[in-house]
């Protein structure tokens, strides 16, 4: 039986509307929601011209059954126990362009499918599967069929049996796809949004295509999906197999389908012999399905530290301190990101080089001359430490009888030759666009095998080039054309800007620091901010960092000692009310806490300083923020305008963020307002307000903050209910709306299950803890056992340390929900 879930060609258009097409998992839908926020102007104009009336997302979702709980643990267990012929199953992903790797890590990527190469990957039990770069999206139907037959032949030869091919899907948008601008593309256009009418080929009619509905998934669960697939397979009497469209809205829906299909594959049919594979299925999907099918949890972006060049680069190829960014994609999103990068990157750091497409279409002499000009400019720029951005002219050439494919191939071939002719290794290479990233990797770099390291930003995978490539070990970023905000390309470049001669990120005055090259109207903090580094590293591991409010030496000592005892990172927080009492010496004490650990009763300098950051908490007055920034004693600040009306909060927070960023300091801000009382500040429950996920993209874009403190039922102080009830569905929506680091205040009193759920569901990577630590100290004082000041300091410090250690272990424990 052949089961087609969605359509990769359809989803490769990167749908960007504001309605929900019902064949879509949440992870893709929410990514499109985020993209819509940044392309609102484009879609508004398009909707006006075509008289479209988008349906509000919440209205449509309210008519659907409640989403199921996660089936990922069961998928993982099934994969662990399930084998074929005594061997682990191997997932083979035929990718029509490299953007399919955006949701996975640890997958090899191959650009060849000889029997020998495929056999090596199939025999390698250390990976769950591998990607084959077919690039069929850029080919004619006849050429694409030829490539797929080559792949099938190679797999048959490698396996000696017919194997199951797996591809990826998750069609989603907020408008029916045939109503979006992408449906009008001359090369990849389409006129229907109904998958039963899609290009199935082979004489298959729409009325012969079956459906797995949301009711099948949400009422029947994996067993219902399994039974329906088995029933369809048994009733099939044609040689064409059975085609099935799956309707999925959330990731949990997708997990349910994957588990049900795995069970159906193993169940077999009546009359099958023992050991014979059950139902054979080919999945036509989009990127997120691969991660679920492989049993992978959702991936947070890689920390900057994971993107540094390896220390043992081959010495026979000279290395430059500048990176290379290749923008071939011509869609509006790519052009918007390119403009932002060139306008905000600074001419001293980023050098833009336009490839004149008109010249490429003149005679061969003119084409070669243009390529030589660009190649020489790249070499000069990256050797001078600049990050060179080459991009094709933005005008389209689609009048070639093939919707622009022939013209595109000529432009792509020229870009490939430019990369192929480079003599110096760039610090990194970002390829913008699906076809561009495939051709640059396979033809320009000679890449035959790469390793997917994970995403640098949501939906943007990073590969490490294999030993056989032109530049072994180089980080290669596959940046899809329609992914990310207008700032995303700039942010990806910023995370990659490390000089190859050092193992640490550049300082604020380093030659390659982005902070020194941006325009004065939008300062950008250095990527080496200690707070951000700690939080990004924790999020990458599915953990969180504890941020503890301190008031004196005993508190600082308790946090630092707890961090050393549990091998954890920590953040020392100072509230303005305690700062008013302790003044600058309290900040200096926290700063000193970064440079000592207690060992044998003495304080001494230690490398442990890199695991402690200092943070100004809940600062709601500009004067306080300005004074603290002037001391240069903090690594981050929270600019708290949550008590203000929304527009005023946005304006004030944006102003404070510009001030902090100008000094290289990242900013946390709160959207919504927490109830409760802490450090003399009290907010009544009736004044509290939860974070609105629909406001998050606008708030982040207008303020440019780095960390978002969310309000989902958490409170300062003690919770009124036991156990506390947090709105985890709201948290999931917030996480889907932004890629910024998320913070949860009020972690005192949260049970382990709730803590782990917020990490797993919402990628919370910073927990604020205060009440429980203070109460531990106060309990010691109330007991009155200490007879003098020093014993009192000792015992209160020990009591606080015990609480802090427990919290640190909790934030590092593997989620089990």
Q: Show which residues are catalytic.
A: 617
Encoded tokens for 224: 């219902």
Long-range contacts of 190-196 (CB under 8 A, 24+ apart): 190/9, 190/10, 190/13, 193/21, 195/4, 195/6, 195/7, 195/10, 195/23, 195/171, 195/245, 196/245
Tell me how far apart the alpha carbons of residues 514 and 385 are, in angstroms, rounded to a whole number.
12
- 597-599 and 602-604: which strand pairing? antiparallel
Residue 218 tokens read as 């949400």
CA–CA distance, 416 with 433 (Å, rounded to integer): 13
CA triplet 89, 90, 93: central angle to 5 degrees? 140
Q: Two tokens at 314?
A: 């081959």
Query: Cβ distance 277 to 90 under 8 Å?
Result: no
As a whole number of angstroms, the distance between CA 131 and CA 111 comes to 8
Burial class for 141, CB neighbours closer than 10 Å (0-12, 13-18, 19+): exposed
Cβ count within 10 A of residue 336: 20
- C-beta neighbour count of 270 within 10 angstroms: 6
| Both structure tokens of 550 | 């301190």
Residue 383 token pair: 């050797």
Tell me, letter by letter, the H, E, C secondary structure of 140-153: CHHHHHHHHHHHHH
What SS3 state is found at 236? coil
Structure tokens at 445: 């770099």
Among 479, 553, 571, 494, smallest CA distance to 526 is for 494
Q: Are 706 and 740 in contact (CB under 8 A)?
A: yes
**What does the alpha-carbon distance between residue 41 and residue 120 come to, in Å, rounded to a whole number?**
49
Q: Count Cβ atoms below 10 Å from residue 345 Cβ, excluding itself.
A: 25
Under 8 Å between Cβ of 102 and 478 = yes
CA 290 to chain centre: 15
Residue whose token pair is 């400019």: 377
| Residue 115: both structure tokens together | 């029997």
- Which residue carries 């156990």 as its tokens? 723
Cβ-count burial 472-510 (b if 16+ within 10 Å, e if not): bbbbbbbbbbbbbbbbbbbbbbbbbbbbbeeeebbeeeb
| Angle, alpha carbons 535-537-538 (nearest 5°) | 65
Q: How far is CA 117 from the centre of its chain?
A: 30
Neighbour-count burial of 58, counting CB atoms closer than 10 A to its CB (0-12 exposed, 13-18 middle, 19+ buried):
exposed
Cis omega before residue 723 (within 30°)? yes
CA 485 remoteness from chain centre: 12
């Amino acid at each position: 039986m052949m089961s087609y879930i969605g359509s990769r060609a359809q989803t490769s258009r990167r749908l960007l509307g504001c309605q929900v097409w019902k064949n879509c998992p949440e992870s893709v839908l929410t990514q499109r929601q985020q993209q819509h926020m940044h392309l609102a102007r484009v879609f508004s104009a398009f909707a006006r011209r075509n008289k479209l009336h988008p349906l509000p997302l919440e209205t449509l979702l309210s008519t659907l059954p409640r989403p199921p709980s996660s089936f990922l643990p069961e998928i993982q267990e099934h994969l662990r126990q399930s084998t074929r012929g005594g061997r682990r199953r191997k997932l083979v992903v035929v990718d029509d362009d490299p953007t399919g790797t955006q949701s996975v890590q640890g997958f090899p990527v191959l650009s060849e499918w000889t029997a020998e190469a495929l056999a090596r990957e199939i025999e390698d039990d250390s990976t769950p599967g591998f990607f084959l770069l077919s690039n069929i999206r850029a080919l004619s139907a006849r050429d694409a069929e030829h490539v797929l037959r080559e792949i099938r032949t190679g797999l048959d030869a490698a396996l000696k049996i017919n194997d199951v091919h797996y591809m990826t899907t998750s069609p989603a948008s907020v408008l029916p796809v045939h109503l979006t601008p992408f449906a009008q593309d001359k090369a990849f256009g389409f006129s229907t949004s109904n998958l039963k009418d899609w290009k199935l080929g082979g004489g298959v009619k729409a009325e012969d295509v079956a459906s797995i509905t949301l009711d099948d998934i949400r009422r029947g669960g994996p067993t219902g999906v399994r039974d329906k697939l088995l029933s369809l397979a048994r009733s099939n009497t044609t040689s064409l197999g059975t085609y099935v469209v799956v309707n999925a809205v959330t990731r949990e829906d997708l997990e349910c389908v994957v588990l049900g299909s795995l069970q159906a594959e193993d169940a077999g049919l009546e009359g099958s012999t023992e050991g014979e594979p059950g139902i054979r299925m080919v999945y036509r999907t989009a990127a997120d399905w691969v991660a679920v099918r492989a049993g992978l949890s959702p991936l947070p972006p890689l920390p900057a530290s994971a993107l540094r060049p390896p220390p043992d680069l081959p010495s026979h190829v000279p290395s430059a301190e500048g990176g290379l960014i290749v923008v071939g994609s011509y869609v509006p999103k790519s052009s918007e990101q390119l403009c932002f990068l060139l306008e905000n990157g600074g001419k001293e750091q980023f050098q833009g080089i336009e490839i004149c497409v008109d010249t490429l279409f003149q005679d061969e002499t003119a084409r070669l001359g243009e390529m030589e000009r660009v190649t020489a400019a790249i070499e000069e720029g990256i050797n001078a430490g600049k990050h060179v951005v080459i991009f094709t002219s933005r005008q389209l050439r689609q009048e070639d009888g093939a919707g622009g494919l022939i013209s595109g191939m000529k432009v792509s071939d020229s870009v490939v030759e430019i990369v192929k002719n480079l003599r110096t290794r760039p610090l990194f290479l970002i390829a913008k666009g699906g076809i561009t990233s495939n051709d640059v990797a396979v033809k320009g770099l000679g890449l035959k095998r790469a390793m997917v390291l994970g995403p640098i930003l949501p939906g943007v995978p990073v590969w490490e080039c294999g030993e056989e490539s032109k530049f072994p070990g180089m980080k290669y970023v596959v940046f899809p054309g329609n992914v990310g905000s207008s700032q995303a390309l700039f942010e990806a470049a910023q995370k990659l800007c490390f000089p190859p001669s050092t193992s640490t990120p550049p300082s604020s005055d380093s030659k390659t620091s982005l902070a020194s090259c941006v325009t004065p109207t939008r300062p950008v903090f250095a990527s080496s901010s200690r707070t951000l580094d700690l939080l990004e590293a924790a999020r990458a591991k599915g953990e969180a960092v504890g941020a503890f409010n301190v008031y004196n030496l005993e508190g600082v000592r308790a946090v630092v000692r707890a961090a050393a005892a549990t091998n954890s990172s920590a953040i020392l927080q100072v509230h303005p009310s305690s700062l008013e009492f302790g003044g600058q010496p309290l900040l200096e004490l926290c700063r000193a806490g970064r440079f000592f650990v207690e060992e044998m009763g003495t304080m001494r300098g230690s490398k442990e300083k890199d695991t402690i950051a200092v943070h100004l908490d809940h600062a709601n007055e500009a004067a306080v923020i300005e004074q603290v920034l002037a001391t240069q004693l903090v690594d981050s600040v929270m600019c708290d305008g949550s008590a203000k009306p929304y527009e005023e909060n946005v304006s004030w927070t944006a102003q404070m963020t510009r001030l902090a960023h100008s000094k290289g300091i990242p900013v946390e801000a709160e959207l919504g307002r927490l109830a409760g009382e802490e450090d003399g500040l009290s907010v009544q429950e009736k004044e509290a307000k939860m974070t609105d996920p629909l406001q998050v993209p606008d708030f982040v874009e207008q303020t440019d903050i780095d960390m978002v403190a969310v309000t989902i039922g958490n409170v300062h102080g003690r919770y009124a209910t036991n156990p506390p009830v947090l709105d985890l569905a709201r948290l999931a929506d917030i996480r889907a709306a932004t890629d910024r680091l998320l913070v949860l205040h009020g972690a005192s009193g949260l049970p382990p299950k709730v803590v782990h759920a917020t990490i797993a569901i919402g990628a919370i990577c910073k927990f604020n803890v205060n009440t429980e630590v203070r109460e531990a100290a106060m309990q010691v004082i109330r007991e009155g056992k200490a007879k003098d000041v020093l014993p009192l300091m000792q015992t209160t410090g020990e009591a606080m340390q015990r609480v802090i250690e427990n919290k640190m272990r909790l934030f590092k424990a593997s989620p089990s929900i």
